[in-house]
Amino acid sequence: MTIHSLRGFRDILPPDSGVFYAIESAAREVFKLYGYREIRIPTLEARELFVKSTGDTTDIVQKEMYAFTDQGGREIAARPEGTPGVVRAYIENNLSQNGGNGKYFYMGGMFRAERPQAGRYREFEQIGAECIGAHGAFADAESISMLMEMLKKAGLSGCMAEINSLGCATCRAAYRAGLLGFLKTNPAALCEVCRTRMEKNPLRALDCKLDGPRLALEAPAIKLCPSCQLHFSRVQELLSALNAPFKVNKSLVRGLDYYTRTIFEVKTGASGGSQDALAGGGRYDELVKSMGGPDAPAVGWAMGVDRVALLLKGLIPESDAAQVFVVCAGSGSPAVVPIEKSGEEPYWEGRLGKIQQDGGNTPEASSRAFALLGELRAAGIRTDFSDFNLSLKSQLRSADKSGAYLALILGDEEIKNSVYALKFLKEKKDQRNVPAAEIIPAIKAALPVK
């Protein structure tokens, strides 16, 4: 009996893992430009952290959290999102004392027991950014535009940020009352969970996976107090100044409790389904204080790497496949098949094939080929090989499968004449001889610019 991965948990294999890597690399570059530094937070936290910050009426905490009691009787949860852990770390390590805004980013797996489907998994990766200690609309606009910049850098064009404001505690009190009144006019239109939590948190109904989108369109919109209105207008002005593509979506709500003022989601025009949100975030001015920290207003977001990767699949060049595959034209091993007698079309024709038919090369050729691997890698060229004892045909098959751009072929004859054969494995499929002394510059010139 074989053991399978859990439902909603999956292996990310090459070449898909290369797409994840490319997104992470783009993110790291952009974070560096914006002064964000990495914070690595634990995967497991006290369950209470999420109950108090994400919110005990949210779907995430009520239905989706992987929570358990550990051997010491402690209530533990696998993080369903990153912000609570970053805020805990900020408070626990007195990071506010570093002065200025605390700008942190994180990357890693999040866990939610949702119903798995395309683009929705039970373990998924988020890249997140938090700017803690910043009051002004500049922080909101910088955070959103950085996210857009990152998606562009990763290779996704045409993304759009949808923004809205949930106001402050004052705006929210009036809004809650109005919303509750609206929900009570037709309780039959609500799912059972929303009916039971409506008194405690009417906003949740707008974020319900079942009825949320419909209710959000019908419900009364929030009326912002002058100060929140000013903040929201300023965010829009600043986003326009940065040419960040955005639009106001008055029915946008977000599923977590701690948001105040600006909230946003980034979508792509491409998919159009319910899984089209690539990232989401907003301001959380009260969270740090409510968790026992200083009065530190903040803004942040999380991007779903799996979803971005789904869209980028096949669109970006593989950055982790070998560039050059070294092949040894016969090594004297009994595994060598004389290719002209194999009954198939000769895979490789010409002088090298003849060498092989002649009975293979001495170990000198394979030793030279093996040393060459090290020389190419030292020159920064991603280099691979299969097994120099295998037939030329088999090695070239591996070269093709590897996704390498070039095969570098050598045998005794090449060593004697100090030339290597460089074979293009992609479009052109042609081949030329290069003097051994010039091989590294020749390879670099032949490789496509990334």
Which positions touch ligand AMP (CB under 6 A)? Answer: 81, 112, 114, 119-121, 124, 126, 255, 277-280, 302, 304, 306-307
Q: Which is nearer to ligand AMP, 11 or 427 (CB)?
A: 11
> At closest approach, how far in Å is the CB of 152 from ligand AMP?
16
Q: Which is nearer to ligand AMP, 270 or 379 (CB)?
A: 270
Q: Which residue has the tokens 């809205």?
A: 164
Q: Which is nearer to ligand AMP, 304 or 330 (CB)?
A: 304
**Distance, CA of 223 to CA of 358 (rounded, Å):** 86
> At closest approach, how far in Å is the CB of 213 from ligand AMP?
15
Please give the span between the terminal C-alpha atoms of the chain, in angstroms, as a whole number. Answer: 44
> At closest approach, how far in Å is the CB of 107 from ligand AMP?
12
> At closest approach, how far in Å is the CB of 411 from ligand AMP?
50
> At closest approach, how far in Å is the CB of 402 from ligand AMP?
30
Among 343, 320, 305, 282, smallest CA distance to 404 is for 320
Residue 363: count of CB within 10 angstroms of its CB: 16
Backbone angles phi, psi at 417, to 5 degrees: -95, 0
Three-class DSSP category at 85:
helix
**Distance, CA of 372 to CA of 65 (rounded, Å):** 52
Three-class DSSP category at 405:
coil
Length of the chain: 450
**Distance, CA of 37 to CA of 106 (rounded, Å):** 9
> At closest approach, how far in Å is the CB of 52 from ligand AMP?
17
> At closest approach, how far in Å is the CB of 326 from ligand AMP?
39
DSSP H helix total and E strand total for the chain = 16, 16
Beta strands (DSSP E) in 143-241 are 159-165
Contact 310, 393 (CB under 8 A): no
Q: Which is nearer to ligand AMP, 31 or 111 (CB)?
A: 111
**Distance, CA of 84 to CA of 122 (rounded, Å):** 19
Q: Which is nearer to ligand AMP, 261 or 393 (CB)?
A: 261
> At closest approach, how far in Å is the CB of 275 from ligand AMP?
8
- Give the residue at shortest CB distance from ligand AMP: 304
293: left (phi over 0), alpha (psi -120 to 50) or beta: beta
Q: Which residue has the tokens 């001889």?
A: 433
Q: Which is nearer to ligand AMP, 307 or 368 (CB)?
A: 307
Q: Which is nearer to ligand AMP, 110 or 244 (CB)?
A: 110
Distances (CA, A) of 433 to 246, 386, 422, 442: 54, 22, 6, 10
Q: Which is nearer to ligand AMP, 121 or 325 (CB)?
A: 121
> At closest approach, how far in Å is the CB of 23 from ligand AMP?
12
Sign, Cα dihedral of 431, 436, 438, 443? positive
Among 173, 286, 284, smallest CA distance to 223 is for 173
Contact 129, 39 (CB under 8 A): no
Q: Which is nearer to ligand AMP, 7 or 184 (CB)?
A: 7
Three-class DSSP category at 149:
helix
> At closest approach, how far in Å is the CB of 224 from ligand AMP?
22
Beta bridge partners of 68: 76
Q: Which is nearer to ligand AMP, 308 or 408 (CB)?
A: 308
Q: Which residue has the tokens 């002004």?
A: 136
**Distance, CA of 41 to CA of 28 (rounded, Å):** 17
> At closest approach, how far in Å is the CB of 191 from ligand AMP?
19
Q: Which is nearer to ligand AMP, 69 or 117 (CB)?
A: 117
**Distance, CA of 276 to CA of 274 (rounded, Å):** 5
Contact 203, 253 (CB under 8 A): yes
Q: Which is nearer to ligand AMP, 52 or 368 (CB)?
A: 52
> At closest approach, how far in Å is the CB of 12 from ligand AMP?
12
